[in-house]
Structure 1
Amino acid sequence: MDQAERRDIELDCARLINLYATLNDQARWDDVVTLYAPDGLMTRPTAPEQPIVGHEALLAAFQSRPPRTTQHVCANIVVTAETSDTASATSAMLLFTGPDTPPLVGTYRDRFVRLDGVWLFSERRGALSFQPSR
């Protein structure tokens, strides 16, 4: 793969990470799920040992959340193009859920696949960097 293709992959996958955060904050669950491959896997930063797999399970997991206002901030996004159709990334995440609640600080390790010319998450594994105070 040449430098231009590598940059395109990195830009497309970084955009996917940011789009995920935006749609998540807007509670657009159907749209969030379409960012995953059909057999895509997600683990929440608060439940890294509980994988959720496939569109149906992902949608049910998102819809089961109680309504809330959130603001995700993604940073330190580093995408690695592996092949023309696969990539991986790491990123940092800050999740704000209210003025009286400290933000959650975490990381994501992502795997991407290009299906029919569209980049999708094949895996999105979250973890907390610091456990919240109780």
Structure 2
Amino acid sequence: MALDEITRRAIEWDCTRLINQYTLLNDAADWEAVAALYAEDGQMARPSAPDKPVIGRDAILAAFLARPARAARHVVSNVVVDVISETEATAKSIILLYQGSANPDGGLPIRDPSGPLIGTYTDRLCKTAEGWRFAERIGGLDFAP
């Protein structure tokens, strides 16, 4: 059965919001909330390690908690969601990552002089009892660092 236009657009918006929420929570280092955006059996592969997926919400949380502290700002753009059904969608988006380190004077973090990393996320999204979640989020870099 084909989805009506209103339902399709609502799913596109819900999935786009999930992608944006992920970005904000990631920059806030709210790792428990980031991990909760994955399905229980979800998979994540960072843009810097696309061939090394982390599988399962608990393992994803552990991977984020193990990461050294850093200052980061992600900019997400060109989000395109393709709705497959009322419970499945795919998405692609472009990501820019600005990184930095703590300022010894206590002010704003100092931006990494090597410039931003530019990459792509390819997502499989699923609707769960908790709402839309990442079934799979695979990152990749588009330019060498």
Structure 1 length-normalised TM: 0.96
In structure 2, the partner of 1:14 is 16
- For residue 137 of structure 2, the aligned residue among 118, 124, 129 is 124
In structure 2, the partner of 1:111 is 124
How far apart, in 2, do the equivalents of 1:121 and 1:108 lie?
11
Stretches of 4+ moved more than 3 A in 1?
A: none
Q: Structure 2: which amino acid aligns with 1:114?
A: K
- For residue 72 of structure 2, the aligned residue among 70, 73, 81 is 70
Secondary structure class of the residue paired with 1:67: coil
The structure having more radius of gyration, on CA atoms, is 2
In structure 2, the partner of 1:85 is 87
How far apart, in 1, do the equivalents of 2:95 and 2:130 lie?
27
Percent of matched pairs sharing the same residue: 48
* Structure 1 residue 101: Cα displacement: 3.0
Secondary structure class of the residue paired with 1:62: helix
Pairwise CA RMSD: 0.8
How far apart, in 2, do the equivalents of 1:127 and 1:103 lie?
14
Q: Structure 2: which amino acid aligns with 1:87?
A: A
The number of residues matched between the two structures is: 132
How far apart, in 2, do the equivalents of 1:73 and 1:117 lie?
26
Structure 2 length-normalised TM: 0.89
